[in-house]
Amino acid sequence: MIDRIRLIVNNEHDIATLTATSEATPIAYTQRSGRSYVWRSADTLEQTITATLPCSAYLSGLVIYNHNLTSLGTIQVEYLLNGQVVYDSGEIIAADLIPLGIWRAGIDPWGQQDLTELPTVQYNVWTSSTLVDGYRITLKDPDNPDGYLEVSRIFAGVSYSPQINPKYGLSLEWQDFSENQRTESGSLRTVGAGTARRLTFDLGHLDDVELTRLSREMLRSGKGRDIYVSVYPGAGGMMEAEHAFVARRASDYAHGHTFYRNWESSLELQEV
């Protein structure tokens, strides 16, 4: 079932004290923005990441962003309070597989991931708002061909979700940083590489309470703080994954009073 758009603006993970089973690269890299910063384990043994918050906080979502787990790997998320588990996702397969009806016999390998074309692979858990003072993430993928497990970024916090989804006209653009240039002989060559997503949408039906919270979230983040956005949580497959990524606000924050007790705001988010 497709849920309403969700944004995690205040990332509790960035202020947590972290430990990991092994660290070929530091687990603190999951708190840093930038594609080159990734936590990497020393091997493919079971890995546990534990986060302790400086004070109790509410969580309604946790995202393991840009991991390298295969279709045989699993992820388990547990919320902790005073040493007790208050939420347990159980072990869940880390990757979306190509579903029957889309999988092509003789062409697609059996058990192949559905989202290999995307530059990032992620796993998220959405829950009711739960008071915690920490959380634990367990990763298993003993046959990972890379020889290690890897996670780029982790988000944990209370998500912002308006009562009414964005208006029709939401736009997702894949920006391609490569450039085609002609050589002296006239041949066409491509220089440069890299892509990033740009998402624009209008929240056209905000009441006073929703506008107040949106303003607080956007003013808190400014243009310099990472935001996790998921437009179609629960949709699964390419539809959900393509519209879910870590971004920063690319436009100024503004809102308009369109009619009695109704407000509208346009947002533009650019992938980090």
Would you say residue 27 lies in a domain? yes
Which of 128, 157, 186 delimits the end of a domain? 157
Residues 184 and 115 in one domain: no
- pLDDT band of 262, cuts 50, 70, 90: very high
Q: In whole angstroms, give the CA distance from residue 181 to residue 178.
A: 10
Would you say residue 166 lies in a domain? no
Would you say residue 194 lies in a domain? yes
pLDDT in tens, 60-71: 999 999 999 988
Residues 148 and 178 in one domain: no
Residues 23 and 144 in one domain: yes
What percent of the chain has a predicted confidence (pLDDT) above 70?
A: 91
Residues 89 and 210 in one domain: no
In our burial notation (b when 16+ CB lie closer than 10 A, e otherwise), range 38-67 reads bbbbeebeebebbbebeeebebbbbbbbbb
Contact by Cβ (8 Å): 136, 28: no
Residues 126 and 207 in one domain: no
pTM over 0.75? The answer is yes
Q: Please tell me the predicted confidence (pLDDT) of residue 110.
A: 42
Would you say residue 1 lies in a domain? no
Residues 134 and 179 in one domain: no
Q: What mean pLDDT do residues 20-49 have?
A: 97
Contact by Cβ (8 Å): 6, 233: yes
CATH code for the domain of 227: 2.40.30
Q: In whole angstroms, give the CA distance from residue 161 to residue 262.
A: 16
CATH code for the domain of 107: 2.60.120.260
List of long-range contacts for 17-26, beta carbons under 8 Å, 24+ apart = 17/51, 17/52, 17/54, 18/49, 18/50, 18/51, 18/52, 19/49, 19/50, 20/47, 20/48, 20/49, 20/50, 21/45, 21/46, 21/47, 21/48, 21/49, 22/47, 24/148
Q: Please tell me the predicted confidence (pLDDT) of residue 172.
A: 97
Which residues are bridge partners to 18 per DSSP? 51
Q: Please tell me the predicted confidence (pLDDT) of residue 107.
A: 47
Which of 101, 126, 157 delimits the end of a domain? 157
Identify the CA nearest to 97 among candidates 236, 270, 2. Answer: 236
Q: Please tell me the predicted confidence (pLDDT) of residue 120.
A: 78
Greatest extent of the chain over all pairs of C-alpha atoms, in Å = 70
Residues 113 and 224 in one domain: no
Residues 108 and 137 in one domain: yes
Residues 263 and 149 in one domain: no
Residue 147 has pLDDT above 50, yes or no: yes
* Size of the chain in residues: 272
User: Judging by DSSP bridges, how do beta strands 6-8 and 84-88 pair with one another?
Assistant: unpaired
pLDDT in tens, 73-112: 999 999 999 999 999 999 998 876 444 344 344 444 444 4
3-class state of residue 89 by DSSP: coil
Contact by Cβ (8 Å): 100, 192: no
Would you say residue 162 lies in a domain? no
Q: In whole angstroms, give the CA distance from residue 199 to residue 243.
A: 8
Which of 157, 185, 201 delimits the end of a domain? 157
Residues 153 and 219 in one domain: no
Number of domains in the chain: 2
Would you say residue 189 lies in a domain? yes
Residues 74 and 137 in one domain: yes
Q: Please tell me the predicted confidence (pLDDT) of residue 96.
A: 61
Indicate the range of 82-91, 111-120, 180-189, 212-221 predicted with least confidence: 111-120
Would you say residue 96 lies in a domain? yes
Would you say residue 95 lies in a domain? yes
Residues 152 and 255 in one domain: no
3-class state of residue 113 by DSSP: strand
Range of the domain at 40: 6-157
User: Would you tell me how many other CB atoms lie within 10 Å of the CB of residue 35?
Assistant: 15
